Amino acid sequence: MRDEGDGNLLLIFSFAHSPSSGGSMNPVRTLGPAVAAGNYKAMWIYLVAPTLGALAGAAIYTSVKLTGDEGDPPRQARSFRR
């Protein structure tokens, strides 16, 4: 069921957003022709955005997950087998 949802989302993005924005969901489909044509005008976004996204994700993870106030330690799980 999950695969169908992902495919539908890609279909919506490709039909709705690609013609209006000119962007592509696969950066290689944009970077390859840009390098071949020597058009480096909008290439920066495909290089900077993943780095900024990774840094933002790491900062959010650090602020949410690594708070230092852990509270009670987790109890040891018991197995049904003894």
Q: How far apart are CA 73 and CA 35, in angstroms?
A: 54
Residue 8 inside a domain? The answer is: no
Alpha helices in the chain (DSSP H): 2-16, 18-21, 27-37, 44-65
Asked whether the predicted pLDDT for residue 16 surpasses 60, the reply is yes
Residue 49 inside a domain? The answer is: yes
Q: Is the separation of the CB atoms in 24 and 30 below 8 Å?
A: yes
Residue 15 inside a domain? The answer is: no
What is the per-residue pLDDT for 57? Answer: 94
Structure-token match 């933002």, residue found? 56
Residue 79 inside a domain? The answer is: no
Task: Give the range of the structural domain holding residue 45, as residue numbers without chain letter.
Answer: 24-67
What is the per-residue pLDDT for 61? Answer: 87
Residue-wise pLDDT for 36-78, tens only, equals 999 888 788 888 988 999 999 999 988 887 656 666 666 777 7
Q: Which of 18, 21, 44 is nearest to 31 (CA)?
A: 44
User: How many domains is the chain built from?
Assistant: 1
